[in-house]
Amino acid sequence: MNGDDPREDPRRRRVPPASGRPAVPPPGRPVPPPGRAMPPDPRYGRPPGNDRRPNPEDGPTVRYNPAPRRGASHVEPTQVLHRGNSGDQPLAYSQMPYEREKPRQPPPPPRREQVRHAPTQRPVPHHDALPPRRNPPPVVGGRQPQPPRRRRKRHPFRWFTVIVVLLIAGLIAAIVHLDNSLTRITALPSYSDRVSNTPGTNWLLVGSDGRGDLSTEQEQELATGGDTGPERTDTIMMVHIPSSGATTMVSLPRDSYVNIPGHGKDKLNASFALGGAPLLVQTVEEATGVRIDHYAQIGFGGFASVVDAIGGIEMCLDEPIVDPLAGLDLAAGCQKLSGPQALGFVRTRATPTADVDRMNRQRMFMAALLKKATGMGTLANPFALWPMATGVAGSLKVDDGDHIWNLAALGWAMRGDTVTTSVPIGGFDDTDVGNVLLWDKSKASGFFEALATDQQIPEELLTR
């Protein structure tokens, strides 16, 4: 039977409700989307191709039209569809025309919202604005002018460093030159039973009467008296630099009657004439019990040149001194002595006590000489320091192990207050070697014992 049989079970009929609400499809059938007809259901005898298309001329009733397929018109839910355009019998819900589903198109991609934030910034190197370009001046005489030179930066600290380095290099070169100017001899002996090392530093300073380095004119200027035989010593001094305390300078009279190793009893300066510096050092060590660490010797010419190099030495005399043999004629009072005058001053014996006065003048002059040589007026003046240093280095004879810095340490140690004294004297005596000076043995023993133990000499043993 056809699906529109009136005897059909009303429960199986699908008539759109007239209540105005859309018809409910049978169970298991999907709800068509709005505006699209439900596809036919094969359970009700309608083939899938038997579609009914609405005709706009038929009015509200939509019937099947075998004409070319057109899109179904929209049917309001309250309208009733009739068959064959007769309008007498409504259509079942399953007989309603439907529209084949169109293939679903993929949804369009979501539109991206326009970027509203600022684009990523990239670092841009900063460049100073270039100065405006100036046109070059017109060429005069066919020669292109040179561009202005770039001003160089000043580096004062660099120049200061260069100056300091040059000064240090110059000082080192000067020290090396002065050290090489020293005349070195073997002065410190090595013998059996030598005095052991004693604390402190001990120097033996010797002023010789050697004339071998003087010309005839210099001998006349210095009044040395010509050649007098073997070289002897006019001045012998021991300088003790303690570990702490004042430096002590001791005069050893050249006529001291002592034992000379291998030669018996004789004057002290005879040891220098018999065996040179080594025998003199050995004689002093055995007579005093003090070990000598350094040796320095200067001649007549060197002594006078050193005094002239520092501009002379000012001395104050209580009485005038006149000595034709020494070429000396000095008035009483303070005066500046030149090199030849200073040499005659430390050598003359034309005074009441002869050698004793001579030793006192030597110590007094040596103290004044070292004080001026190490003063700031000399050390800060290169025009006075360099001639003095070269004069000393060129005229001194030192031991093989001595250097210019050892001499500088000696001068620095004697720059302040220095205790000056001489060996305690016991008297004079005539012997087979002439008139000699005798030491006070009881006092001399304690005197040299204090030096050997690096102690200050007791005041009662000092000779002023």
- The residue among 256 and 37 whose pLDDT is bigger is 256
When the pLDDT of each residue in the chain is averaged and rounded to a whole number, the result is: 76
Over residues 300-333, the pLDDT tens digits come to 777 888 888 888 888 888 888 888 887 788 888 8
Checking if the pLDDT of 390 tops 80, the result is yes
Residue 1 has pLDDT above 50, yes or no: no
Collapsing DSSP to helix, strand or coil, 173 comes out as helix
Beta strands in 69-115 (DSSP E): none
Interacting residues of 376 by C-beta distance below 8 A, sequence separation 6+: none
Q: How far apart are CA 24 and CA 30, in angstroms?
A: 10
pLDDT at 261 over 50: yes
Best-predicted range by mean pLDDT among 32-36, 154-158, 282-286? 282-286
Helix residue ranges, H only, 210-253: 216-222
Residue closest to 307 by CA, chosen among 229, 427, 395: 395
CA dist 270 and 353 (Å) reads 22
At 60-75, the pLDDT tens digits run: 554 445 555 545 445 5
pLDDT of residue 100: 61
Fill in the amino acid letter for 433: V
Res. 236: pLDDT tops 80: yes
Quick one: pLDDT at residue 158?
Answer: 80
Supply the pLDDT for residue 188: 93
